[in-house]
Structure 1
Amino acid sequence: MSLNTSEYFSLTSDSWTGFIADAQSRLSGSPRLLILALCNIPLIAVALNVLWQLIAPRDPSLPPVVFHWLPFIGSAPSYGNDPLKFFFECREKYGEVFTFILFGRKVTVTLGPKGNNFVLGGKSLSLSAEDAYTHLTTPVFGKDVVYDVPNEVFMEQKKFVKVGLSTENLRAYVGMIDQEVQEFLRRDASFQVFQKNATEEWGSFDVLKVLSEITILTASRTLQGKEIRDSLDKHFADLFSDLDGGFTPINFLFPNLPLESYRKRDVAHAKMSQFYQDILRKRKETGSEYEHDMMAALMNQAYRNGRPLPDHEIAHIMIALLMAGQHTSSATGSWTLLHLAEKPEVADAIYREQVEHFGSGDGHFRTMTYEDIKKLPVLDSIIRETLRLHPPIHSIMRKVREEVIVPPTLSAPSENRTFVVPKGYYVLACPAVAQVDPRIWRNADTWDPTRWSDPEGAAAKAFTEYNDEHGEKVDFGFGLVSKGTDSPYQPFGAGRHRCIGEQFAYLQLGTLIATLIRSLEFRLPGPFPAHNYHTMITLPKDPRIVQYRRRHHD
């Protein structure tokens, strides 16, 4: 068949006319098509992500990856809502070692005491804390301290802080904390029933709100110094709140968002840093001495190379101590009071213990001392048990600087496999899992302080391992400390990053709980609060109301 030129152009013209008409028809519905296409993109992405996990070849040297529906986001919803439940479920499917996706990050988890030891006892050249956390901590704490410096410099800074936590200072702090708590009860609006001297009427308060206020008051009176304690007004509270707003999971995951909270954080840090530096300058000008506070101890420190500790570093260390200590102590204090309100018989045991050691029998007590705190085993056991069930931090991360080998002893017993964690991954230890592991602890989910008085029980063994009572101490650069990385109980971390404020935290918590129990009885009007894992520190969810009344003295 042949076509002449006129026929060809006629057919071609008709074809183009039809094509243009068809195109116009399609374009007239383009908004709907566009919306439909945009709606389908996430579904396609999910489908491709699932398909890739099912059919893509997997490197057998890498830990198994937790199945996840959402690309990039990965397992973030499950991990963020309840990390312990997520980890226990993953352990059942994948063993003690696995990798999950957290907003694009590949995070390899190593569970159990051996897994904790792998991460927390690892070499800092391979597993870096500063690479994991500096984007979160530096804007809040400040430059040139903590994770904004090489690890060996941070270890020296911990040594400086340790000087301020001498036994002499701790002895002086007990009376200060006791006095602050009693003064708080006499003046705070939450305790009007107590102030009316009513012995039958019950009042109530938000336990986290009250413990947060008491914690910052007692910390400022002791570690922070007189000037900071005298400056605790609304302006300081607002600065602290704005700075605290930069210490959240979203700041860890997305450090550079153009949000108002980020701007407020930066402004608050600049003002608070200047506030501390002004105090330092005045102290130097007047020659004033404050022998029991941390600032005085830091002013006399110098690095090994002879460089004195500059004012801005002292200021930033003070901010770090204020922020970190306030969060952990207020959370633990809140959980402790909630448990005591739920079990008043345990609170009564703490009261009777104090009557026995420094009470007069008529409701009066002599001033509590540092030595008294050491002689209260019931009080000690309730703090240990609260920290076991409610450690302030559930996950501890390090960023992998160079490829590391996970030994076969960490994988599932049936597999006994060696894994490789590549450079650029994160590794994660979760001491909180080991602390409630039913394979280790009897009635693991039950708050039972008596477990700590059993010399043959799991608690006593774990505590011995944590303090390396029969082992060799290690010096990471800030003095000899217990490594503690093999223990299933690690409430203050372990290894080179073990919290040096551990003794102060026990002292602060013990003193304020003992003082509250001497004055008040507590009860819990509702169900025990669940964990809120959406914050950096694990807090009790609302409602967290505790009722109180003035204690009846026998």
Structure 2
Amino acid sequence: MSNFTAFTNSETWTAIASPKSAILLLINLPLIAVVLNVLSQLLISKNPNDPPLVFHWLPYVGSAVQYGTDPINFFVRCQKKYGNVFTFVLFGRRVTVALGPKGNNLILGGKLSEVSAEEAYTHLTTPVFGAGVVYDCPNNMLMEQKKFVKVGLSIENFRQYVGMIVNEVEDFLDTDPAFFQYQTGDINEWGKFPAYKKLAELIILTASRTLQGHEVRESLHKGFADRYHDLDGGFTPLNFLFPNLPLASYRKRDVSHKAMSDFYISIIEKRRQENRIEEGDMLSALSQQTYKDGRPLTDREMAHIMIALLMAGQHTSSTSTTWCLLHVVANPEIADALYKEQVEHFGQDDGSLASLTYEELKTLPLLDAVIRETLRTHPPIHSIMRKVISDIVVPPTLSAPRDENRTYIIPKGHFVLASPAVSHMDAAYWKDPEEFDPYRWFDQSGAAAAALDSYDNGGDKIDYGFGQVSKGTESPYQPFGAGRHRCIGEQFAYLQIGTVISTLIRRLEMRIEKGVPEHNYQTLITQPQGECGVLYRRRPDPKKN
């Protein structure tokens, strides 16, 4: 009898093959995997050029729990232990983080031959935004699409938008059930509204009234909002990490995307048939643009750009507006000062306030400072990723404080991650960074002014394809990203947030119910936790006093 036959007939094999042993093996497999994962980190020698790997117990899962629960504290803890550059495992992905302004510059100012935003994000954005736009096209094509959008974000259009946004806010206060106390006219009774929920509704109303066009605005109560909600359900961390799960939310996302895309195309076709151009809205601006090779935008590309504008802008603006309002109403002295600023600039002889204008909004120093401080303390996106498509050499100075003489190499296939949010709260650049202090922006020789200057004017002006911009990649203040992927909608965001906050301050006295909430990091955009209750009452009408 051969050795193989003897082994297969042995009692040992019988014991291993028994159902009881199989069950025990299955039960112990996770423990065995954990032990092997730990031993591999402790015993297997590492390439000295690899960035330090954050220790993790669970294979594949890695540091996902710590990162997902509180990414900023996770980064700061790792920075103290490993230095400014380190790698962590996120559901099978190797993610190398580079912190601080130099780290932001390494990633956000990275060469196209080394890093790719498209490969990092297309699996998330393409099912939501659509094919052929944003990260589903070559980078040079995306830069041209940003230029097309920039045409629609003109100063002339902004002047029209202020009045439109004011009208939307006032109509909302006059009709929404959450503002019943405002509508009854009793100035002595306080009401309450959930800030995030109501401001999210307001932002989509104002965005549709301005950028999206009257057809979209008129459709918000005819099923469009439901389609938007289902599409929004496909824009979550789950979709980023696992793009192809067989879940109902994924199917709803795809059905809603098709419906919204067809809706925009129907608008385009109808306008074309009627030979009609709507002045001021983005769809009309896009319809008049051509690529460098002379090709016009297709109807489907225009539809998908419109969806991208709606989805991306809605999340960031509603979140930033909510944080801004919460801090204002949590600091009565700031709220009073903002109202006095409105009276000073817009007050009339009869005690009323003149209409807001674009030019005047840009000259309100406290309002501007409050928005900037909100974006410093609550930047909408805490992590900005790229896919490494060729090895990246990390300068030795970035390795400090762990090893200033070590040159790291981030290998092809890794993801890299910048976190401007960490720089925003770094005491090396900001005095009392945890404190919400808009007045820090008034000091023209202070750190805030220097950070803003380096963001808007740092380095040579570069034209990535959508006009001259500052790289801003080494600034400790980067609320809208930096480099070629810097958000071109930031001026509209300031306009939208400033107009909404100003109109609410004019109409309402407000105070916070329970204090400014903690961050909710379970969403792609860093939202406040909970209901965010704000108490309010109507301001007296000066004409009736």
TM-score bracket for this pair, using the shorter chain length: over 0.9
CA distance in 2: counterparts of 1:551 and 1:363, whole angstroms? 13
How far 1:25 moved relative to its partner?
9.4
CA distance in 1: counterparts of 2:259 and 2:144, whole angstroms? 26
- Of the three residues 335, 353, 369, the one matched with 2:357 is 369
In structure 2, the partner of 1:448 is: 437
CA distance in 1: counterparts of 2:10 and 2:438, whole angstroms? 81
Q: Say whether residues 1:130 and 2:124 are aligned partners.
A: no
In structure 1, the partner of 2:63 is: 75
Aligned residues: 535
2:220 alignment partner, SS class: coil
How far 1:112 moved relative to its partner?
0.2
In structure 1, the partner of 2:420 is: 431
Larger Rg: 1
Q: Say whether residues 1:285 and 2:273 are aligned partners.
A: yes
In structure 2, the partner of 1:394 is: 382
Give yes or no for contact 2:196–2:531 (8 Å, CA) kept in 1. no
1:201 alignment partner, SS class: coil
Q: Say whether residues 1:466 and 2:455 are aligned partners.
A: yes
Give yes or no for contact 1:355–1:361 (8 Å, CA) kept in 2. no
In structure 1, the partner of 2:291 is: 303
In structure 2, the partner of 1:99 is: 87
CA distance in 2: counterparts of 1:233 and 1:523, whole angstroms? 31
- Of the three residues 150, 154, 158, the one matched with 1:162 is 150
Q: Check 1:145–1:90 CA distance in 2 against 1; reply closer, same or farther (3 A cut).
A: same
Normalising by structure 2, we get a TM-score of: 0.95
In structure 1, the partner of 2:130 is: 142
- Of the three residues 186, 195, 208, the one matched with 1:198 is 186
In structure 2, the partner of 1:403 is: 391
- Of the three residues 256, 259, 265, the one matched with 1:268 is 256
Q: Check 1:363–1:531 CA distance in 2 against 1; reply closer, same or farther (3 A cut).
A: farther
In structure 2, the partner of 1:4 is: none
Q: Deviations over 1:126-163 (max 9, x none)?
A: 10000000000000000000000000000000000000
Q: Say whether residues 1:314 and 2:302 are aligned partners.
A: yes
How far 1:19 moved relative to its partner?
8.0
2:94 alignment partner, SS class: strand
In structure 2, the partner of 1:358 is: 346
CA distance in 2: counterparts of 1:199 and 1:206, whole angstroms? 20
- Greater shift, 339-348 or 501-510, is seen at 339-348
In structure 2, the partner of 1:336 is: 324
CA distance in 2: counterparts of 1:379 and 1:321, whole angstroms? 25
1:231 alignment partner, SS class: helix
How far 1:223 moved relative to its partner?
0.4
Q: How does 1:29-108 map to 2 (within 5 A)?
A: 32-108=20-96
- Of the three residues 517, 541, 546, the one matched with 2:529 is 541
Give yes or no for contact 1:529–1:543 (8 Å, CA) kept in 2. no
- Greater shift, 506-515 or 335-344, is seen at 335-344
Q: Which residue identity does 1:426 align to in structure 2?
A: F
How far 1:354 moved relative to its partner?
0.7
2:534 alignment partner, SS class: strand
Q: Check 1:25–1:401 CA distance in 2 against 1; reply closer, same or farther (3 A cut).
A: closer
Identity of aligned residues (%): 61
Q: Which residue identity does 1:380 align to in structure 2?
A: D
Q: Which residue identity does 1:533 align to in structure 2?
A: Y
How far 1:23 moved relative to its partner?
9.4
CA distance in 1: counterparts of 2:293 and 2:197, whole angstroms? 44
Q: Check 1:542–1:152 CA distance in 2 against 1; reply closer, same or farther (3 A cut).
A: same
Q: Check 1:532–1:19 CA distance in 2 against 1; reply closer, same or farther (3 A cut).
A: same
Q: Which residue identity does 1:420 align to in structure 2?
A: I
2:457 alignment partner, SS class: coil
CA distance in 2: counterparts of 1:234 and 1:331, whole angstroms? 25
For structure 1, the residue ranges without an aligned partner over 5 or more in a row are 1-14
How far 1:472 moved relative to its partner?
2.9
CA distance in 1: counterparts of 2:70 and 2:314, whole angstroms? 24
In structure 2, the partner of 1:10 is: none
Give yes or no for contact 1:344–1:521 (8 Å, CA) kept in 2. no
Give yes or no for contact 2:16–2:22 (8 Å, CA) kept in 1. no
Q: Say whether residues 1:253 and 2:245 are aligned partners.
A: no
- Greater shift, 436-445 or 93-102, is seen at 436-445
1:64 alignment partner, SS class: coil
Q: Deviations over 1:458-505 (max 9, x none)?
A: 111100100017x53110001111211110000000000000001000
RMSD of aligned Cα (Å): 1.8
In structure 2, the partner of 1:208 is: 196
CA distance in 1: counterparts of 2:222 and 2:35, whole angstroms? 52
2:38 alignment partner, SS class: helix
Q: Which residue identity does 2:71 align to in structure 1?
A: P
In structure 2, the partner of 1:492 is: 480
Give yes or no for contact 1:531–1:540 (8 Å, CA) kept in 2. yes
Give yes or no for contact 2:83–2:402 (8 Å, CA) kept in 1. no
Q: Which residue identity does 1:423 align to in structure 2?
A: K
Q: Check 1:26–1:386 CA distance in 2 against 1; reply closer, same or farther (3 A cut).
A: closer
In structure 2, the partner of 1:420 is: 409
Give yes or no for contact 2:15–2:21 (8 Å, CA) kept in 1. no
In structure 2, the partner of 1:324 is: 312
CA distance in 2: counterparts of 1:95 and 1:220, whole angstroms? 45
Q: How does 1:501-516 map to 2 (within 5 A)?
A: 501-516=489-504
Q: Which residue identity does 1:267 align to in structure 2?
A: V
Q: Deviations over 1:321-360 (max 9, x none)?
A: 0000000000001111111121121111111001000122
In structure 2, the partner of 1:5 is: none
Q: Say whether residues 1:379 and 2:367 are aligned partners.
A: yes
Q: Which residue identity does 2:487 align to in structure 1?
A: C
2:510 alignment partner, SS class: strand
CA distance in 1: counterparts of 2:73 and 2:541, whole angstroms? 43
CA distance in 2: counterparts of 1:42 and 1:423, whole angstroms? 30
Give yes or no for contact 2:130–2:257 (8 Å, CA) kept in 1. yes
How far 1:544 moved relative to its partner?
1.3
For structure 2, the residue ranges without an aligned partner over 5 or more in a row are 1-5
Q: Which residue identity does 1:461 align to in structure 2?
A: A
CA distance in 1: counterparts of 2:203 and 2:10, whole angstroms? 76
How far 1:363 moved relative to its partner?
4.6
How far 1:32 moved relative to its partner?
4.9
Q: Check 1:373–1:306 CA distance in 2 against 1; reply closer, same or farther (3 A cut).
A: same
- Greater shift, 276-285 or 338-347, is seen at 338-347
How far 1:36 moved relative to its partner?
3.0
Q: Deviations over 1:24-57 (max 9, x none)?
A: 9998xx5554443222111111111001100001
Q: Deviations over 1:216-247 (max 9, x none)?
A: 00000000001111111151111001100000
1:477 alignment partner, SS class: coil
Q: Which residue identity does 2:175 align to in structure 1?
A: R
Q: Check 1:552–1:415 CA distance in 2 against 1; reply closer, same or farther (3 A cut).
A: same
